[in-house]
Structure 1
Amino acid sequence: MDDIAGVVHRPDGRPQGVVALTHGAGGSREAPLLQAICEEWARRGWVAVRYNLPYRRRRPKGPPPRSAAVADLAGIVEAVAAVRTLADGPVIAGGHSYGGRLTSMATSEGLTLDLLTLFSYPLHPPGKPERARTEHLPNISVPTVFTHGTADPFGSIDELRPAAALIPAPTTIVEVTGARHDLASKKIDVPRAAVDAALELLG
Protein backbone atom coordinates (compact mmCIF):
# COMPACT_ATOMS: atom_id res chain seq x y z
CA MET A 1 0.00 0.00 0.00
CA ASP A 2 3.01 2.30 0.01
CA ASP A 3 2.25 3.40 -3.53
CA ILE A 4 -1.07 4.94 -2.41
CA ALA A 5 0.11 6.04 1.06
CA GLY A 6 -2.36 3.64 2.63
CA VAL A 7 -2.65 2.02 6.06
CA VAL A 8 -4.23 -1.45 6.07
CA HIS A 9 -6.52 -2.75 8.82
CA ARG A 10 -6.81 -6.53 8.54
CA PRO A 11 -9.47 -8.73 10.10
CA ASP A 12 -8.99 -12.01 11.87
CA GLY A 13 -9.66 -14.85 9.46
CA ARG A 14 -10.60 -14.72 5.82
CA PRO A 15 -11.80 -11.25 4.69
CA GLN A 16 -15.36 -10.74 3.49
CA GLY A 17 -14.42 -7.84 1.21
CA VAL A 18 -12.44 -4.62 1.01
CA VAL A 19 -13.05 -1.00 2.00
CA ALA A 20 -11.08 2.06 0.84
CA LEU A 21 -11.59 5.35 2.70
CA THR A 22 -9.98 8.75 2.33
CA HIS A 23 -9.96 12.05 4.17
CA GLY A 24 -11.43 15.53 4.09
CA ALA A 25 -9.83 18.67 2.67
CA GLY A 26 -7.88 19.59 5.79
CA GLY A 27 -7.18 16.08 6.98
CA SER A 28 -5.16 12.99 6.21
CA ARG A 29 -5.33 9.24 6.56
CA GLU A 30 -4.51 9.76 10.26
CA ALA A 31 -7.87 11.41 10.98
CA PRO A 32 -9.37 9.79 14.11
CA LEU A 33 -12.69 9.27 12.31
CA LEU A 34 -11.06 7.28 9.51
CA GLN A 35 -9.06 5.22 11.97
CA ALA A 36 -12.15 4.36 13.98
CA ILE A 37 -14.21 3.45 10.92
CA CYS A 38 -11.47 1.23 9.49
CA GLU A 39 -11.06 -0.51 12.85
CA GLU A 40 -14.80 -1.18 12.90
CA TRP A 41 -14.72 -2.65 9.39
CA ALA A 42 -11.81 -4.90 10.38
CA ARG A 43 -13.74 -6.10 13.44
CA ARG A 44 -16.57 -7.05 11.09
CA GLY A 45 -14.25 -9.17 8.96
CA TRP A 46 -13.27 -6.76 6.19
CA VAL A 47 -9.92 -5.44 4.99
CA ALA A 48 -10.07 -1.65 5.39
CA VAL A 49 -7.56 0.81 3.97
CA ARG A 50 -7.29 4.50 4.84
CA TYR A 51 -5.20 6.40 2.35
CA ASN A 52 -3.94 9.87 1.50
CA LEU A 53 -5.08 11.68 -1.60
CA PRO A 54 -2.35 12.81 -4.02
CA TYR A 55 -2.41 16.44 -2.84
CA ARG A 56 -1.78 15.30 0.75
CA ARG A 57 1.12 13.12 -0.38
CA ARG A 58 2.69 16.23 -1.88
CA ARG A 59 2.36 18.39 1.23
CA PRO A 60 1.63 17.42 4.84
CA LYS A 61 -0.80 20.21 5.74
CA GLY A 62 -3.32 22.59 4.26
CA PRO A 63 -6.35 22.28 1.99
CA PRO A 64 -6.12 21.04 -1.59
CA PRO A 65 -5.44 23.66 -4.26
CA ARG A 66 -8.20 24.17 -6.79
CA SER A 67 -6.06 22.42 -9.39
CA ALA A 68 -5.87 19.22 -7.31
CA ALA A 69 -9.22 17.63 -8.21
CA VAL A 70 -8.14 15.88 -11.42
CA ALA A 71 -5.10 14.27 -9.81
CA ASP A 72 -7.10 13.39 -6.69
CA LEU A 73 -9.80 11.69 -8.78
CA ALA A 74 -7.11 9.64 -10.49
CA GLY A 75 -5.66 8.83 -7.07
CA ILE A 76 -9.00 7.44 -5.92
CA VAL A 77 -9.25 5.16 -8.94
CA GLU A 78 -5.67 4.01 -8.28
CA ALA A 79 -6.39 3.37 -4.59
CA VAL A 80 -9.52 1.31 -5.29
CA ALA A 81 -7.58 -0.78 -7.83
CA ALA A 82 -4.88 -1.38 -5.22
CA VAL A 83 -7.25 -2.48 -2.45
CA ARG A 84 -9.00 -4.90 -4.82
CA THR A 85 -5.81 -6.97 -4.76
CA LEU A 86 -6.02 -7.49 -0.98
CA ALA A 87 -9.10 -9.71 -0.85
CA ASP A 88 -11.98 -11.10 -2.84
CA GLY A 89 -15.56 -10.03 -2.22
CA PRO A 90 -17.45 -6.75 -2.41
CA VAL A 91 -15.61 -3.45 -2.83
CA ILE A 92 -16.69 -0.42 -0.81
CA ALA A 93 -15.17 3.05 -1.09
CA GLY A 94 -15.82 6.54 0.15
CA GLY A 95 -14.50 9.07 2.56
CA HIS A 96 -15.03 12.14 4.67
CA SER A 97 -16.20 15.43 3.15
CA TYR A 98 -13.91 16.31 0.19
CA GLY A 99 -12.65 12.73 -0.06
CA GLY A 100 -16.17 11.36 -0.09
CA ARG A 101 -17.34 13.90 -2.62
CA LEU A 102 -14.48 13.04 -5.00
CA THR A 103 -15.10 9.32 -4.54
CA SER A 104 -18.74 9.89 -5.46
CA MET A 105 -17.61 11.84 -8.53
CA ALA A 106 -15.26 9.02 -9.56
CA THR A 107 -18.15 6.58 -9.14
CA SER A 108 -20.40 8.76 -11.29
CA GLU A 109 -17.70 8.66 -13.96
CA GLY A 110 -17.46 4.88 -14.06
CA LEU A 111 -15.49 3.69 -11.02
CA THR A 112 -16.96 0.26 -10.24
CA LEU A 113 -17.98 -0.33 -6.62
CA ASP A 114 -20.49 -2.41 -4.72
CA LEU A 115 -21.29 0.39 -2.28
CA LEU A 116 -20.40 4.03 -1.68
CA THR A 117 -20.07 5.32 1.89
CA LEU A 118 -19.98 9.09 2.41
CA PHE A 119 -19.28 10.87 5.68
CA SER A 120 -20.35 14.53 6.05
CA TYR A 121 -20.98 14.93 2.34
CA PRO A 122 -20.37 18.65 1.61
CA LEU A 123 -23.61 19.58 -0.12
CA HIS A 124 -22.49 23.21 -0.40
CA PRO A 125 -19.99 25.62 1.21
CA PRO A 126 -21.14 26.84 4.63
CA GLY A 127 -23.71 29.60 4.24
CA LYS A 128 -23.90 29.21 0.45
CA PRO A 129 -26.72 26.75 -0.32
CA GLU A 130 -26.98 28.14 -3.85
CA ARG A 131 -23.61 26.51 -4.65
CA ALA A 132 -24.90 22.94 -4.58
CA ARG A 133 -22.48 20.08 -5.19
CA THR A 134 -25.07 17.61 -6.41
CA GLU A 135 -24.94 17.75 -10.21
CA HIS A 136 -23.23 14.34 -10.55
CA LEU A 137 -25.42 12.43 -8.09
CA PRO A 138 -27.96 11.24 -10.74
CA ASN A 139 -25.08 9.42 -12.46
CA ILE A 140 -24.29 7.23 -9.44
CA SER A 141 -25.71 3.75 -9.85
CA VAL A 142 -24.50 1.99 -6.69
CA PRO A 143 -26.08 1.82 -3.21
CA THR A 144 -24.94 4.76 -1.11
CA VAL A 145 -24.80 5.44 2.63
CA PHE A 146 -24.67 9.03 3.87
CA THR A 147 -23.52 9.47 7.50
CA HIS A 148 -24.32 13.05 8.40
CA GLY A 149 -24.51 15.30 11.44
CA THR A 150 -27.71 17.20 12.10
CA ALA A 151 -25.69 20.38 12.80
CA ASP A 152 -23.40 20.18 9.77
CA PRO A 153 -22.89 23.67 8.26
CA PHE A 154 -22.09 22.09 4.87
CA GLY A 155 -25.69 20.92 4.53
CA SER A 156 -28.67 20.09 6.71
CA ILE A 157 -30.46 16.77 6.88
CA ASP A 158 -33.42 18.42 5.17
CA GLU A 159 -31.11 19.40 2.30
CA LEU A 160 -29.48 15.98 2.22
CA ARG A 161 -32.69 13.99 1.76
CA PRO A 162 -33.60 15.37 -1.71
CA ALA A 163 -29.94 15.21 -2.72
CA ALA A 164 -29.74 11.53 -1.80
CA ALA A 165 -32.97 10.94 -3.73
CA LEU A 166 -31.18 12.04 -6.90
CA ILE A 167 -29.22 8.78 -6.84
CA PRO A 168 -31.07 6.09 -8.85
CA ALA A 169 -30.00 3.33 -6.45
CA PRO A 170 -30.86 2.47 -2.85
CA THR A 171 -29.65 5.05 -0.31
CA THR A 172 -29.57 5.29 3.47
CA ILE A 173 -28.99 8.32 5.67
CA VAL A 174 -27.44 7.75 9.10
CA GLU A 175 -28.34 10.83 11.15
CA VAL A 176 -25.89 11.76 13.91
CA THR A 177 -27.88 13.99 16.24
CA GLY A 178 -26.11 17.18 17.22
CA ALA A 179 -22.92 16.40 15.31
CA ARG A 180 -21.17 18.93 13.13
CA HIS A 181 -18.88 18.29 10.16
CA ASP A 182 -16.39 16.21 12.17
CA LEU A 183 -19.18 13.78 13.19
CA ALA A 184 -18.01 13.82 16.81
CA SER A 185 -20.71 12.36 19.04
CA LYS A 186 -20.92 11.24 22.66
CA LYS A 187 -24.32 9.62 22.12
CA ILE A 188 -23.87 7.59 18.93
CA ASP A 189 -21.15 5.12 17.96
CA VAL A 190 -20.71 6.63 14.50
CA PRO A 191 -18.44 3.93 13.00
CA ARG A 192 -20.72 1.17 14.18
CA ALA A 193 -23.85 2.90 12.89
CA ALA A 194 -22.25 3.59 9.52
CA VAL A 195 -21.00 0.03 9.08
CA ASP A 196 -24.36 -1.39 10.17
CA ALA A 197 -26.09 0.72 7.53
CA ALA A 198 -23.62 -0.29 4.84
CA LEU A 199 -23.94 -4.01 5.56
CA GLU A 200 -27.71 -3.76 5.59
CA LEU A 201 -27.74 -1.96 2.26
CA LEU A 202 -25.38 -4.56 0.78
CA GLY A 203 -27.82 -7.25 1.87
Structure 2
Amino acid sequence: MRIETSAGPAEVEIDRPGRNKPKFLLVLTHGSGGGVDAKDLLAVRDSAVELGGAVALVTQPYRVAGRRAPGKADVQDAAWLEIVAALRKKVRGVPLVQGGRSNGARVACRTAREAEVRGVLALSFPLHPPGKPEKSRRDELLAPGDIEVVVVNGARDPFGIPEAADATEVNIIAGQAHSYRAGFDRIVEVVTPWLRRWGGV
Protein backbone atom coordinates (compact mmCIF):
# COMPACT_ATOMS: atom_id res chain seq x y z
CA MET A 1 0.00 0.00 0.00
CA ARG A 2 0.99 3.64 -0.46
CA ILE A 3 0.70 6.36 2.18
CA GLU A 4 0.86 9.95 1.03
CA THR A 5 3.01 12.23 3.19
CA SER A 6 4.27 15.80 3.10
CA ALA A 7 7.57 14.41 1.72
CA GLY A 8 5.94 12.27 -0.98
CA PRO A 9 4.51 8.75 -0.99
CA ALA A 10 5.78 5.97 1.26
CA GLU A 11 5.34 2.30 0.47
CA VAL A 12 4.25 -0.10 3.19
CA GLU A 13 4.02 -3.88 3.38
CA ILE A 14 1.85 -5.16 6.24
CA ASP A 15 2.11 -8.73 7.51
CA ARG A 16 -0.59 -9.95 9.88
CA PRO A 17 -0.88 -13.06 12.08
CA GLY A 18 -3.39 -14.93 9.95
CA ARG A 19 -7.04 -14.15 10.64
CA ASN A 20 -6.51 -13.37 14.31
CA LYS A 21 -6.60 -9.82 15.60
CA PRO A 22 -3.01 -8.58 16.03
CA LYS A 23 -1.74 -8.30 19.60
CA PHE A 24 0.52 -5.34 18.75
CA LEU A 25 1.71 -3.29 15.79
CA LEU A 26 5.43 -3.08 14.98
CA VAL A 27 6.46 -0.46 12.41
CA LEU A 28 9.97 -0.96 10.97
CA THR A 29 12.07 0.93 8.44
CA HIS A 30 15.39 0.72 6.61
CA GLY A 31 18.77 2.45 6.69
CA SER A 32 19.84 5.36 4.47
CA GLY A 33 20.63 3.55 1.25
CA GLY A 34 19.00 0.23 2.07
CA GLY A 35 15.60 -1.33 1.85
CA VAL A 36 13.12 -3.28 3.92
CA ASP A 37 14.58 -6.53 2.58
CA ALA A 38 17.53 -6.29 5.02
CA LYS A 39 17.92 -9.68 6.71
CA ASP A 40 17.82 -8.31 10.24
CA LEU A 41 14.53 -6.50 9.57
CA LEU A 42 13.03 -9.64 8.04
CA ALA A 43 14.17 -11.76 11.00
CA VAL A 44 12.48 -9.35 13.40
CA ARG A 45 9.34 -9.26 11.24
CA ASP A 46 9.06 -13.04 11.21
CA SER A 47 9.48 -13.23 14.98
CA ALA A 48 6.86 -10.54 15.57
CA VAL A 49 4.27 -12.16 13.30
CA GLU A 50 4.88 -15.53 14.96
CA LEU A 51 4.11 -13.87 18.31
CA GLY A 52 0.82 -12.54 16.99
CA GLY A 53 1.86 -9.05 15.96
CA ALA A 54 1.17 -7.10 12.81
CA VAL A 55 4.32 -5.75 11.17
CA ALA A 56 4.51 -2.80 8.79
CA LEU A 57 7.71 -2.58 6.75
CA VAL A 58 8.00 1.03 5.58
CA THR A 59 9.94 2.26 2.57
CA GLN A 60 10.30 5.96 3.31
CA PRO A 61 9.44 8.65 0.72
CA TYR A 62 13.04 9.52 -0.18
CA ARG A 63 13.74 5.89 -1.10
CA VAL A 64 10.48 5.59 -3.05
CA ALA A 65 11.71 8.65 -4.98
CA GLY A 66 14.99 6.86 -5.74
CA ARG A 67 17.28 8.84 -3.42
CA ARG A 68 19.86 7.22 -1.13
CA ALA A 69 20.23 10.10 1.35
CA PRO A 70 17.31 10.89 3.67
CA GLY A 71 17.75 14.66 3.59
CA LYS A 72 16.73 16.95 6.44
CA ALA A 73 15.81 15.22 9.68
CA ASP A 74 12.78 17.41 10.37
CA VAL A 75 11.28 16.59 6.95
CA GLN A 76 11.98 12.89 7.40
CA ASP A 77 10.54 12.85 10.91
CA ALA A 78 7.37 14.72 9.90
CA ALA A 79 6.73 12.20 7.12
CA TRP A 80 7.36 9.31 9.52
CA LEU A 81 4.79 10.64 11.99
CA GLU A 82 2.26 10.88 9.17
CA ILE A 83 2.98 7.28 8.20
CA VAL A 84 2.55 6.08 11.77
CA ALA A 85 -0.71 7.99 12.13
CA ALA A 86 -2.07 6.34 8.98
CA LEU A 87 -1.00 2.89 10.19
CA ARG A 88 -2.72 3.41 13.54
CA LYS A 89 -5.98 3.70 11.60
CA LYS A 90 -5.24 0.43 9.79
CA VAL A 91 -4.41 -1.53 12.94
CA ARG A 92 -6.47 -0.11 15.80
CA GLY A 93 -6.55 -0.65 19.53
CA VAL A 94 -3.22 -2.43 20.03
CA PRO A 95 0.14 -1.37 21.50
CA LEU A 96 2.41 0.38 18.99
CA VAL A 97 6.15 -0.15 18.85
CA GLN A 98 8.51 1.09 16.16
CA GLY A 99 12.07 0.64 15.02
CA GLY A 100 14.53 0.41 12.20
CA ARG A 101 18.11 -0.15 11.27
CA SER A 102 20.81 2.56 11.11
CA ASN A 103 19.19 5.82 9.92
CA GLY A 104 15.81 4.16 10.44
CA ALA A 105 16.74 3.57 14.08
CA ARG A 106 17.51 7.28 14.43
CA VAL A 107 14.11 8.21 13.02
CA ALA A 108 12.37 5.75 15.34
CA CYS A 109 14.15 7.22 18.37
CA ARG A 110 13.66 10.86 17.42
CA THR A 111 9.91 10.48 16.85
CA ALA A 112 9.08 8.01 19.62
CA ARG A 113 7.60 10.45 22.11
CA GLU A 114 5.51 12.36 19.59
CA ALA A 115 4.31 9.09 18.05
CA GLU A 116 3.41 7.89 21.57
CA VAL A 117 4.90 4.45 21.05
CA ARG A 118 5.46 1.90 23.81
CA GLY A 119 8.95 0.96 22.70
CA VAL A 120 11.70 1.37 20.11
CA LEU A 121 13.94 -1.23 18.51
CA ALA A 122 17.21 0.30 17.27
CA LEU A 123 19.20 -2.02 15.01
CA SER A 124 22.74 -0.83 14.22
CA PHE A 125 22.17 2.58 15.79
CA PRO A 126 24.85 4.82 14.19
CA LEU A 127 26.23 6.52 17.27
CA HIS A 128 28.60 8.68 15.22
CA PRO A 129 30.01 8.88 11.68
CA PRO A 130 32.90 6.40 11.18
CA GLY A 131 36.10 7.76 12.67
CA LYS A 132 34.37 10.80 14.20
CA PRO A 133 33.33 9.89 17.75
CA GLU A 134 33.23 13.60 18.64
CA LYS A 135 30.11 13.93 16.44
CA SER A 136 27.99 11.82 18.76
CA ARG A 137 24.27 11.26 18.16
CA ARG A 138 23.76 10.03 21.71
CA ASP A 139 21.19 12.75 22.34
CA GLU A 140 18.87 11.08 19.79
CA LEU A 141 18.69 7.95 21.93
CA LEU A 142 16.07 7.90 24.63
CA ALA A 143 17.59 7.27 28.05
CA PRO A 144 15.78 4.59 30.06
CA GLY A 145 12.41 5.97 31.07
CA ASP A 146 8.82 5.85 29.93
CA ILE A 147 9.67 4.42 26.49
CA GLU A 148 11.68 1.21 26.32
CA VAL A 149 14.54 1.34 23.82
CA VAL A 150 16.31 -1.87 22.86
CA VAL A 151 19.56 -1.43 20.91
CA VAL A 152 21.22 -4.19 18.88
CA ASN A 153 24.64 -3.36 17.38
CA GLY A 154 27.49 -5.37 15.94
CA ALA A 155 30.65 -5.58 18.02
CA ARG A 156 32.73 -4.24 15.10
CA ASP A 157 30.39 -1.44 14.03
CA PRO A 158 32.52 1.50 12.76
CA PHE A 159 29.60 3.82 13.54
CA GLY A 160 30.12 3.14 17.25
CA ILE A 161 28.17 1.26 19.88
CA PRO A 162 25.84 2.90 22.43
CA GLU A 163 26.69 2.35 26.07
CA ALA A 164 24.50 0.51 28.55
CA ALA A 165 23.26 3.78 30.06
CA ASP A 166 22.08 5.06 26.67
CA ALA A 167 19.05 2.77 26.39
CA THR A 168 16.86 0.36 28.31
CA GLU A 169 18.89 -2.51 26.90
CA VAL A 170 22.01 -2.63 24.70
CA ASN A 171 22.89 -5.91 23.01
CA ILE A 172 26.09 -6.66 21.09
CA ILE A 173 26.27 -9.19 18.24
CA ALA A 174 29.76 -10.72 18.28
CA GLY A 175 31.85 -10.49 15.15
CA GLN A 176 29.40 -8.29 13.23
CA ALA A 177 29.89 -4.84 11.71
CA HIS A 178 27.21 -2.28 10.77
CA SER A 179 25.49 -4.56 8.25
CA TYR A 180 24.99 -8.00 9.73
CA ARG A 181 26.18 -11.01 7.72
CA ALA A 182 25.29 -13.45 10.48
CA GLY A 183 23.91 -13.43 14.02
CA PHE A 184 20.26 -13.22 12.98
CA ASP A 185 19.32 -15.99 15.41
CA ARG A 186 20.90 -13.93 18.18
CA ILE A 187 18.89 -10.85 17.11
CA VAL A 188 15.70 -12.91 17.31
CA GLU A 189 16.70 -14.18 20.78
CA VAL A 190 17.11 -10.60 21.96
CA VAL A 191 13.97 -9.20 20.37
CA THR A 192 11.49 -12.01 21.07
CA PRO A 193 11.07 -11.53 24.85
CA TRP A 194 10.78 -7.76 24.30
CA LEU A 195 8.02 -8.26 21.73
CA ARG A 196 6.24 -10.76 23.98
CA ARG A 197 5.65 -8.01 26.50
CA TRP A 198 3.62 -5.97 24.01
CA GLY A 199 1.56 -8.97 22.95
CA GLY A 200 0.97 -10.28 26.44
CA VAL A 201 2.33 -13.69 25.43
User: How high is the TM-score relative to the length of structure 2?
Assistant: 0.84
- Whether contact under 8 Å (2:27, 2:57) holds in the other structure is yes
Instruction: Provide the secondary structure at the position in 1 that maps to 2:138.
Output: coil
CA displacement at 1:22 relative to structure 2: 0.4
AA paired with 2:16? R
Partners of 1:50 and 1:100 in 2: CA distance: 13
Partners of 1:137 and 1:7 in 2: CA distance: 26
Aligned with 1:73 (options 74, 77, 82): 77
Structure 1: which 5+ residue stretches go unaligned? 165-170
CA displacement at 1:56 relative to structure 2: 0.9
Greater alpha carbon shift after TM alignment, 33-42 vs 119-128: 33-42
- CA RMSD of the aligned region, Å? 2.2
Identity of aligned residues (%): 30
How many corresponding residue pairs?
Answer: 190
Structure 2: which 5+ residue stretches go unaligned? 4-9
CA displacement at 1:197 relative to structure 2: 4.2
User: How high is the TM-score relative to the length of structure 1?
Assistant: 0.83
Q: 1:174 to 1:19 in 2, by over 3 A?
A: same
For residues 180-199 of structure 1, the C-alpha deviation after alignment (integer angstroms, 9 at most, x for no partner) is 1113325x504422422423
Is 1:98 aligned with 2:103? yes
Partner of 1:22: 29
Q: 1:73 to 1:33 in 2, by over 3 A?
A: same
Partner of 2:127: 123
For residues 104-126 of structure 1, the C-alpha deviation after alignment (integer angstroms, 9 at most, x for no partner) is 11125x22001111101110011
Partners of 1:190 and 1:49 in 2: CA distance: 22
Aligned with 1:42 (options 37, 49, 57): 49
- Whether contact under 8 Å (2:26, 2:54) holds in the other structure is yes
Instruction: Provide the secondary structure at the position in 1 that maps to 2:99.
Output: strand
Structure with more of its chain in strand, by fraction:
2
Q: 1:90 to 1:136 in 2, by over 3 A?
A: same
CA displacement at 1:48 relative to structure 2: 0.2
Partners of 1:194 and 1:70 in 2: CA distance: 31
